[in-house]
A and B are shown apart, each in its own frame.
Chain A
């Protein structure tokens, strides 16, 4: 048989190496192969991942916690004190042989035991999922694991984009926040180059404030591109452990490209996670088992997830978008306040997902058609859409401020960033809240956004910028009333989410804190 081992001890100069020697001698004497990673002080040479994948069992003979323990997830494991490997290496090897034989004789029982064990207890990636918990609880724990890993991307990307807008407004005047998203790129420029795209990789000019703004914006946008893939990947990770990562992340990236938003990402997270879990429990011949984790599981689960998304969800998504878009066009001539409410509902529903995108595209398309007119309905529609899109993150920020106890630690911190993201019309700032507790957050977000959308129409605000939030205030007609409309929607959203969370089942928040604690550990 083939084994891998890890040895460690408090001082890291003696027992670690004696234990490694003990295991190697014992394995050789019994006709087995073993590679031992000595986590001591004489430099760490990590085991080759392929060696780990090919191992029949893992032996930890340790005095201090194993570093990057998650690398060994899913393997039969013998864990003992470091001294045991020194005094009785043959005994540990015999235990490892027995564990490997038992796991291969009864793979289903082994997989079940694995799923029940807390993943990555020390170091490595972690999730907090109790396999014995009711389905509803487990679903929340899966979602929360994804959200916990997504939050840093929301914060980094959102704040960078907001800072980009800020700097752009300072450096480029009232149109700065519009120009910064259009004129700069990390590739190109294309030939021909009618819009005069500037490649800030090759043509960065430190003296030009707009170039700095573009740098901030482009890096932020790059971070944002990971929101849905990371959410999806780590939902799948919570479900299936490491095998879930590849299908989850790839599925999320496709959902992102298709404009399926965070709800699409949640779907791919679940599909990818369960596909990986299902395949990893297949009973396969011994010869194939070695390549299951590195080839078979990622290959098949990623194919299943990607294909399900493209072939099954793709058309309905497109049909939904088309249907909503034509419905909106049909509403064009009608009562603007009602249109504002509907646009608000759509903006608040999926925060950058397909429904949100239809409303946003409807507004920006009108903006182009409106040309230089100063009072066209299209300018009001744009104003309503942007205001409604700012409400969800601002509402969550307000709710975490006034009722911190209803939110987990990470949510409260994300709430601080959400003020800036909301003010910058970055609706994604609310995604961590919505993904962790979808129906309550989406309901509250839709309520507030609808009211803000209607109010903006009522007040007759106009806007000739497609984005930028408060950083394009000079381009907003009647800005004070505009801010009032946003403030009212924000208060409504916060009030609704606080009410729903207060009335809801109590343990939600505690679970989230536990999940986060497990992830952070």
Chain B
């Protein structure tokens, strides 16, 4: 299965805070059977978030965890036009990437996540996601840039 599908894209994320937003994004993973225990997975993400918020300059949030409740490496993309505070110094995040990796996942999958993380540093990549018209466009961009570069 692929890293991201159009079911794992939330283009109108309007949660009040990052924990609520993470839950909305993680719910899509639970619906798709990629996360077996939603609350357990959220606890793992929150543990990482409490070490240090994963908000990054440029309006990015990357909540993530390696968790035993994850069945396969997945990316959920969320776009929050009004912004959600993710702990970054320069303001709220508009592009949220929830990264879910299984505990002890295979090397290939982790390499894909590594490639994704590298792409997040590229302005063109972020802008194309910001401007994507619909979920299918988001999936196409990620697949083209990260999965089959």
Partner of A18, one of B56, B107, B111: B56
Question: Are A83 and B111 within 8 A (Cβ)?
Answer: no
Does A136 belong to the interface (CB within 8 Å)? no
Does B143 belong to the interface (CB within 8 Å)? no
Q: Give the shortest distance, in Å, between B107 (CB) and chain A (any CB).
A: 5
Query: Restricting to B42-68, which residues have a CB under 8 Å from any CB of A?
Result: 48, 51-52, 54, 56-57, 62, 64-66
Q: Give the shortest distance, in Å, between A95 (CB) and chain B (any CB).
A: 18
Partner of B66, one of A20, A41, A43: A41
Query: Would A83 and B56 be within 8 Å (CB), given that A41-B66, A41-B110, A42-B110 are in contact?
Result: yes
Q: Which residues of A contact B89 (CB under 8 A)?
A: 87
Question: Are B66 and A11 within 8 A (Cβ)?
Answer: yes
Does A10 belong to the interface (CB within 8 Å)? yes
Partner of A25, one of B48, B117, B121: B121
Query: Would A11 and B48 be within 8 Å (CB), given that A41-B66, A42-B107, A43-B110 are in contact?
Result: yes
**A15, A18, A40 — most chain B CB neighbours (10 Å):** A18
Query: Mask for A1-36, Cβ within 8 A of B = 1, else 0?
Result: 000000000111111111011100100000000000
Question: Are A83 and B52 within 8 A (Cβ)?
Answer: yes
**A20, A25, A42 — most chain B CB neighbours (10 Å):** A42
Does B144 belong to the interface (CB within 8 Å)? no
Query: Would A86 and B118 be within 8 Å (CB), given that A13-B99, A14-B62 are in contact?
Result: no
Query: Would A21 and B121 be within 8 Å (CB), given that A13-B99, A83-B52 are in contact?
Result: yes
Q: Which residues of B contact A43 (CB under 8 A)?
A: 107, 110-111
Question: Are A15 and B117 within 8 A (Cβ)?
Answer: yes
Query: Would A42 and B114 be within 8 Å (CB), given that A11-B65, A13-B99 are in contact?
Result: yes
Q: Give the shortest distance, in Å, between B88 (CB) and chain A (any CB).
A: 8
Question: Are A40 and B114 within 8 A (Cβ)?
Answer: yes
**A11, A25, A86 — most chain B CB neighbours (10 Å):** A11
Q: How far is the CA of A41 from the CA of B64 in the complex (A)?
A: 13
Question: Are B48 and A10 within 8 A (Cβ)?
Answer: yes
Question: Are A14 and B99 within 8 A (Cβ)?
Answer: yes
Question: Are A42 and B113 within 8 A (Cβ)?
Answer: yes
Q: Which residues of B contact A41 (CB under 8 A)?
A: 66, 101, 105, 110
Q: Which residues of B contact A414 (CB under 8 A)?
A: none
Does B20 belong to the interface (CB within 8 Å)? no
Partner of B117, one of A10, A14, A83, A87: A14
B residues contacting the other copy or chain, number (CB 8 A): 25
Question: Are B118 and A18 within 8 A (Cβ)?
Answer: yes
Does A38 belong to the interface (CB within 8 Å)? yes
**A11, A13, A20, A87 — most chain B CB neighbours (10 Å):** A13
Question: Are A13 and B117 within 8 A (Cβ)?
Answer: yes
**B48, B105, B113 — most chain A CB neighbours (10 Å):** B113
Q: How far is the CA of A38 from the CA of B66 in the complex (A)?
A: 17
How many A-B pairs have beta carbons closer than 8 Å: the answer is 70
Question: Are B121 and A14 within 8 A (Cβ)?
Answer: no
Query: Mask for A303-330, Cβ within 8 A of B = 1, else 0?
Result: 0000000000000000000000000000
Q: Give the shortest distance, in Å, between B103 (CB) and chain A (any CB).
A: 11
Partner of A17, one of B57, B107, B114: B114
Query: Would A18 and B117 be within 8 Å (CB), given that A11-B64, A11-B65 are in contact?
Result: yes
Question: Are B110 and A14 within 8 A (Cβ)?
Answer: no
Q: Give the shortest distance, in Å, between A27 (CB) and chain B (any CB).
A: 13
Q: How far is the CA of A7 from the CA of B98 in the complex (A)?
A: 21
Q: How far is the CA of A83 from the CA of B62 in the complex (A)?
A: 12
Does B120 belong to the interface (CB within 8 Å)? yes
Question: Are B113 and A14 within 8 A (Cβ)?
Answer: yes
Q: Which residues of A contact B65 (CB under 8 A)?
A: 11
Query: Mask for B109-139, Cβ within 8 A of A = 1, else 0?
Result: 0110111011011100000000000000000
Q: Give the shortest distance, in Å, between A253 (CB) and chain B (any CB).
A: 40
Question: Are B113 and A13 within 8 A (Cβ)?
Answer: yes
Q: How far is the CA of A21 from the CA of B65 in the complex (A)?
A: 20
Query: Mask for B78-110, Cβ within 8 A of A = 1, else 0?
Result: 000000000001000000000101000101001
Partner of A87, one of B57, B101, B107, B115: B57
Q: Give the shortest distance, in Å, between A24 (CB) and chain B (any CB).
A: 9
Q: How far is the CA of A15 from the CA of B110 in the complex (A)?
A: 13
Q: Which residues of A contact B114 (CB under 8 A)?
A: 13, 16-17, 38, 40, 42
Q: Give the shortest distance, in Å, between A97 (CB) and chain B (any CB).
A: 21
Q: How far is the CA of A22 from the CA of B58 in the complex (A)?
A: 13
**B52, B62, B65, B118 — most chain A CB neighbours (10 Å):** B118
Q: Which residues of B contact A11 (CB under 8 A)?
A: 48, 64-66
Query: Restricting to A427-478, which residues have a CB under 8 Å from any CB of B?
Result: none
Question: Are B121 and A22 within 8 A (Cβ)?
Answer: yes
Query: Closest 9 CB pairs between A and B?
Result: A17-B117, A21-B121, A42-B110, A42-B114, A21-B118, A17-B114, A87-B57, A42-B111, A14-B117
Q: List 26 A-B contacts (CB under 8 A).
A: A10-B51, A11-B48, A11-B64, A11-B65, A13-B99, A13-B101, A13-B117, A14-B54, A14-B113, A15-B54, A16-B117, A17-B117, A18-B56, A18-B118, A21-B118, A21-B121, A25-B121, A41-B110, A42-B110, A42-B111, A42-B113, A42-B114, A43-B111, A83-B56, A87-B56, A87-B89
Question: Contacts A13-B114, A13-B117, A86-B56 given; 9 further ones with Cβ under 8 A?
Answer: A14-B54, A15-B54, A16-B117, A17-B114, A17-B117, A21-B118, A22-B121, A38-B114, A42-B114
B→A interface (CB under 8 Å)? 48, 51-52, 54, 56-57, 62, 64-66, 89, 99, 101, 105, 107, 110-111, 113-115, 117-118, 120-122
